[in-house]
Amino acid sequence: MTMENKTPALTSFNSTTLIISTLQMVGIGYPPNLFNFFLLLLVIRLIFIFIFNNARLSRQKTNSVQLPPGPKPWPLIGNLPEMLRNKPVFRWIHKLMDEMNTEILCIRLGNVHVIAVSCPKLGCEFLKKQDAIFSSRPETMASDLASSRYLSTALTPLGEQWRKMRRVVTSEVLAPARHRWMHDKRVEEADHLVRYVFNQCGKGVSGLGLVNVRVAAKHYCGNVIRKMILGRRFFGEGMEDGGPGVEEEEHVEALFTILGYLYSFCVSDYFPFLRGFDLDGHEKVMKEAMASMKKFHDPIINARIRQGRDGEKEANDLLDVLIRLKDADGGPLLSEDEIKAQIVELMIATVDNPSNAIEWALAEMLNRPETFQQATEELNRVVGKDRWVQESDISQLNYVKACAREAFRLHPIAPFNVPHVSVSDTTVAGYFIPKGSHVLLSRPGLGRNPKVWDEPLKFKPERHLKDGSEVVLAEPDLRMLSFSTGRRGCVGVNLGSTMTTMLLARLLQGFTWSMPPNVTSIELIESVGNLFLATPLLALARPRLAPGLLVSGILALVFMLGNIDFLICLELYYYLRSARATSQGSSLLLDLCSTMFMPCLYPWLVTTLLLFLPVLYFLLHPNQEKGPFNLPPSPPKLPIIGNLHQLGKLPHYSLWKLSHKYGPVMLMRLGRVPTLIVSTPATAKEVLKTHDLDCCTRPLSNNQKKISYNFLDLAFSPYGEYWREMRKLCVVELFTNKRVQSFWYVREAEVAHMISKIAKSYPNPVEMSDLCFNLTNSVICRIAFGTSHRSNQFEYGELKGVIDDAMAVLSGFAAADFFPSIGWLIDVIMGQHSRIERCFKNFDAFFQKVIDEHLDPARPTPDHEDITDAMLGLAERTTIIKLNNQHMKAVLVDIFLGAVDTSSVTMVWVMAELIKNPRVMKKVQAEIRSCIGKKPKVDESELDKLKYFKLVVKETLRLHPPASLLIPHETIRHFKLNGYDILPKTRVIVNAWAIGRDPELWENPNEFYPERFEGKSVDYKGQNFEFLPFGSGRRMCPGINMGLMSVEFTVANLLHCFDWELPGGMKSEELNMDEEFGLNIRKRVPLYLVPIKHNWEDN
């Protein structure tokens, strides 16, 4: 936040006439008697302050501890005359520090000691070592108005209101899970930023346009935070070129005005009794800016609150989140005024830092072209030129982040951090710091300190690149101040870092930048009244990537040939991007072209398309003889796409609904691929047991082929001699019960670490998906290659990103899988081909690092053999398959994709169902605690005693099988199923989700009722076809034991060690249990639970 961004309007006063002038100003327009009355009050007040100051100074002298150095203060008023004479005040303070050659300065303004600091060591003393003492905020005119009388977080003094709002912001608004939830909104605005700059290019000659970087950067930051909080980019219509409209410009200017007047050394901040006279005009400006904000915010907030807080409709933005928070009694946690105040604070805390830093960064880089070259080379290497940089790439963009970090260091947005106030007297570095002092850390003083930085005034991004470690924008040691630290530190570091990096990365990747004509260098001069660039940066931009990236695939062709407005193309792109995830992209393209595009297209383009579609249809549908076959019933098909449009957002649910109409054996045509859907235990048994050998191969998917090293793995490899030998090797050597049991020490250590971490989080809720993923990821890392993701060698973020990308690619729509003849071309155009290539390269590099580490002669002999050790040992033995690095990497891919996500997803569903069903939760915890007693944890050897607990896990897997649709099989030869002919090369999908909810098998199938398994011999081994969470037959999952052991051991300890409740007084019946489709079916809404350490004395 900005300390002082505008020169206050107060005129200079002579120190000898200050009081007289003030009294005259007070007396204007008042009768003499009233004037005398005010005069008397003022004199009494000043005498009181004088006595108080003398008493304090006397106590200070008694303690023989001196204040930090500073100018000698006047009686009563302190250094107020000097402050009024020297504008802007922040430059006067820094000048004093230079003249007095000190890194800590004390200025007394009225009764307030203002302590300025420019030394990292002293800064850490204030904000780290003595953080508890300097954890409050000053009460000022501007902060009072901006926070609606201290109802928000950052501006509110220490107390219960601050603690309440900080809990809300950290756990509900800016939590990691919420950050991921808002990912698509941020990416959409990054895409719109590119569109806006591209349109500026189009206004110039030869695609070269002059861009106001400040406007573009502010526009992006304003759009992101408006979209995240209010769910909208514009308050009005915006401009045709995608730029800000009048409303958006007014909104952002109001934000920057508020920032400019926060803590701007207003006279009434040090003499509060003068506030009503607004001597320097600050209050009038603040009230006008706040009125402007409220004009835009309040109607939206009021309307949303009127719609209700019942949460029946899905939350779409942070405003929805704030409105729906509940207290312990089930009422609204936040008042209307608290919501409005927090939204204003989130807005002002987000718009300034990224936009200012990137404007300065580009200005500096224009003067140093070699920095542009290094940044774009890094972007080309990490991202390539066939897709846009995404947030998942940020961890690898170290040079780009170094440029942003250097801008934060050299050109901070504000002269000081938000002031800290001491809550008691203390001593720092031998200096006495009185209670109530305002502590200001100097951003330029820290970032340009010559004792800390070599050549501090030179822009050198390379100074932040050390030892190949990841560059981060925050600086915990306070050598610079991008984001503050301590208990009053910035809680939005993740959001701020992401926005800053994406803003710079998109501008650098998308465009080549140069100086305007006749300009040889950019003048890097600060404004007089603030630290902004004195003149907004104007630079020439030229698109540097292929035009197809601007709209994606076919839409790019339409844009280029039809000259259709970029905005229409981009909106259609977003519509199709969401549709593509549900496999409806093809039909939606036809629908949207007819409704949105036809009015825009040139007649010749319409004619060309109409002529092309029949040709395409006949190419894709050659005349085939059906033959004398009795095929299963099938839903009606559309030309070209077949039944793709009927899959819906949740294919397992859509197929289950269709099976009610067309029967348990249903033939669909997905694109060009005949696909058999099986939805009952009897038909599943026919496919997976009776005719197992007839349909035990896998379809040859391009994505799976690439990521499995040309089908060298077990899961995706086609049936044949190689697959049989690989399965034998995995079952007999790698995943035996003995080996699974041998890793008990890994599971115990990682679960103990997780329990310890959870215990420290109380009373804050924990996000169960992250928690469980971290655990299973660490367990599998140690089992697979002996090293936890928490070690320095293997970065958690790196591995998690690789796994998430792979899961998304394998569960996403690949045209080549459904249109073998031309699908590859569609995948190339739409970017699917480059995604799988990038995903494969990341996996390959990661696992090569693992193997190299194991082959290193200097590697210490491990205490326990991991899976990689075992495979390297097998490689030295004579077997039918001579294992090489490619085989080992393929097996490691299977382990990570098949174990990490599957286990963590199941753990989350178990906890969700238990919290949704308090009766079952109480019963299963009673069993565990009765069997285990007061021991601090559950041992693996004790799991077999927990009969009811095992029923709970079974019931969860019935309702929520990890893979709702088993990995597809493919038929090898012709066979009969229920009297129907099943032809070779037919894809076979078993709907395990539908089988688990079949009302003919399960009473009240949608109810969570573990007792239904009591007395039944139903197990996971694939012989009970009414229960198939892990498949059956030859293609059954070989890692069942490993996965089940992790799930049962982890959840049993979670239930034994903690009692669990929903946050904010939410009731169990309010818990959202919606699903999200993917390779594994996840819970769509993140599960937050509050862990309460179990008190054994209460038993």
The reported pLDDT for the residue numbered 65 is 75
Q: Determine, yes or no, domain membership for 172.
A: no
For residue range 813-832, what is the model confidence (pLDDT) as tens digits?
788 888 887 777 777 877 77
List Cβ neighbours of 900 (8 Å cut-off, separation of 6 or more).
773, 776, 777, 780, 803
Helix (H) or strand (E) holding 1048: helix 1040-1057
Contact 699, 674 (CB under 8 A): no
Question: Which pLDDT score is estimated for 899?
Answer: 81
Q: Is residue 1084 part of a domain?
A: yes
Residue 814 has phi, psi (to 5 degrees) of: -115, 115
Token output for 636: 């009606």
- Residue 709 sits in the same domain as residue 579: no
**CA quadruple 126, 129, 135, 138: dihedral, nearest 10:** -10
Cα separations (Å) of 517 from 145, 208, 543, 568?
A: 45, 11, 18, 32
| Statement to judge: residues 957 and 1038 lie in one domain | yes
Give the total residue count for the chain.
Answer: 1099
Q: What is the pLDDT of residue 263?
A: 87
Could you tell me if residue 96 is inside a domain?
Answer: no
Please report whether residue 676 resides in a domain.
no
CA distances from 933 to 849, 887, 918, 927, 1099 (A): 44, 46, 21, 10, 10
Return the pLDDT at 1066: 86
Alpha helices in 140-212 (DSSP H): 141-146, 160-168, 176-181, 183-202
Question: Which pTM was predicted?
Answer: 0.55
In the predicted model, residues of the chain with pLDDT beneath 70 are 1-64, 202-208, 308-313, 546-628, 788-801, 878-879, 1096-1099
* Residues 558 and 550 sit within 8 Å (Cβ to Cβ): no
Q: Alpha carbon 551 to chain centroid distance?
A: 24
Residue 754 belongs to domain with CATH number: 1.10.630.10
- Pair (588, 726) in one structural domain: no
SS3 987: strand
Specify if 490 maps to a domain. Answer: no
Asked if 714 and 861 sit in the same domain, the reply is yes
Same domain? 695 vs 603:
no
Q: Please check whether residue 904 lies inside any domain of the structure.
A: yes
Domain C-terminal end among 596, 620, 644? 620
DSSP state of 567: H
pLDDT at 471: 93
**To 5 degrees, how large is the angle CA 137–CA 143–CA 144?**
105
C-alpha span between 515 and 777 (Å, rounded): 48
First CA to last CA distance, the chain: 50
How far is 701 from 816, CA to CA, in rounded Å?
8
Domain match, 706 and 606 both: no
Q: Count of alpha carbons within 13 Å of 1068, Cβ hemisphere only? A: 13
Which residues have a Cβ under 8 Å from the Cβ of 408 and sit 6 or more positions away? 353, 357, 447, 473, 480, 482
Q: What is the dihedral of CA 441, 442, 448, 453, to 10 degrees?
A: -10
Using CB atoms within 10 Å of the CB of residue 272, give its burial: 0 to 12 exposed, 13 to 18 middle, 19+ buried. Answer: middle
Residue where one domain finishes, among candidates 585, 605, 620 = 620
* Residue 783 domain flag: yes
- One domain, residues 751 and 606: no
Same domain membership, residue 756 and residue 610: no
> Are 251 and 222 spatial neighbours (Cβ–Cβ below 8 Å)?
yes
Q: How far apart are CA 350 and CA 199, in angstroms?
A: 25
Q: What is the pLDDT of residue 875?
A: 84
**Domain membership flag for residue 895:** yes
- Nearest of 389, 379, 346 to residue 224 by alpha carbon: 346
Can you tell me the distance from the alpha carbon of 29 to that of 9, in angstroms, rounded to the nearest whole number?
A: 22
Structural domain tally of the chain?
A: 2
**Co-location of 599 and 707 in the same domain:** no
The residue among 620, 643, 661 that closes a domain is 620
Rounded to whole angstroms, the Cα distance separating 1013 from 374 reads: 62
Q: Can you read off the two tokens belonging to residue 13? A: 């006063």
Query: Does residue 616 sit in the same domain as residue 722?
Result: no
- Residue 555 confidence (pLDDT): 40
Residue 915 CA from chain centroid, whole number: 26
Ordered alpha helix ranges (H), 383-488: 398-410, 443-447
Asked if 924 and 832 sit in the same domain, the reply is yes
What's the domain range around 858?
A: 689-1098
For residue 668, the cross-strand partners are 675
Say whether both 609 and 721 belong to one domain. no
| Long-range contact set of residues 284-290: C-beta below 8 Å, sequence gap at least 24 | 285/9, 285/257, 285/261, 286/141, 286/142, 286/145, 286/146, 286/257, 286/258, 286/261, 287/145, 288/257, 289/254, 289/257, 289/258, 289/261, 290/145, 290/146, 290/254, 290/258, 290/344
Is the distance from CB of 981 to CB of 629 less than 8 angstroms? yes
CA dist 846 and 850 (Å) reads 7
Could you tell me which residues are beta bridge partners of residue 209?
541
